[in-house]
Amino acid sequence: MSQNIRAEIRARFLKVDTSNVADVLDDMGLLHQGLAADFRSFSGTSGKLAGFAYTIRGQSTPYGMGGDAEKMTACQGISEDEISVWSGDGDGTCYFGELIALGLKERGCVGALADGGVRDIAWLNQHDFPVFARYRSPVQSIGRWKVNAWQVPVFIRGATSKHVEVAPGDFILADADGAIVIPAARIEAVLEKAEALTAGEINIRRELANGMTLSEALKVYGHV
């Protein structure tokens, strides 16, 4: 997929809601793509996150305070229209903060999803770098949590299942309703169906605003 097509797909996904995407995935038989309810927006003016997954995995382990060279190497590989997806077992620590985010942004990264913690939230907001995470923490990862792989399939806490697998190249969409994962092989099909569902909802809202009752609207447009 060319960079231009990836950019276009991301721009179109920003115009649909996670709820519509979730309904489309259900219709496709993909029933467990939603992420855990405690994922929420911590930064970014739009309150929305959309992009292709670039996965980073780590684990809790004691080590020296000189820094995490693997984390820095992992972050060098990210590119335009990608979201860094952070996974691991480091509860209580933050996986990254402002400086890592700025380095990611320089490479075209459009946000982050962390199955863990984030810090420097005020500064992330100032840089308009969107982050969805499970919690915030001032406690750094250095000496506590270390990156051990990147661009491999990872498991993120799920809404209706214990975990959701996220593979490199999958699509992440998150908004006020939560976060969801679209498998790479289904991205374009899901997008087209979600856009159609969105168009139907726009029509119903317009008709309701013009005085049509909900029951009348559902007879015309069906369930949405």
Annotated binding site: 97-100, 119-120
From the list 36, 67, 71, the residue with the least C-alpha distance to 149 is 71
DSSP label of 185: G
From the list 90, 74, 52, the residue with the least C-alpha distance to 169 is 52
CB-CB contact of 85 with 166 (8 Å): yes
- Please give the annotated binding residues for substrate, written as ranges: 97-100, 119
Q: How far is it, in rounded angstroms, from Cα 181 to Cα 199?
A: 22
- Please give the annotated binding residues for Mg(2+), written as ranges: 120
CB-CB contact of 71 with 58 (8 Å): yes
Residue 44 in tokens: 């970014």
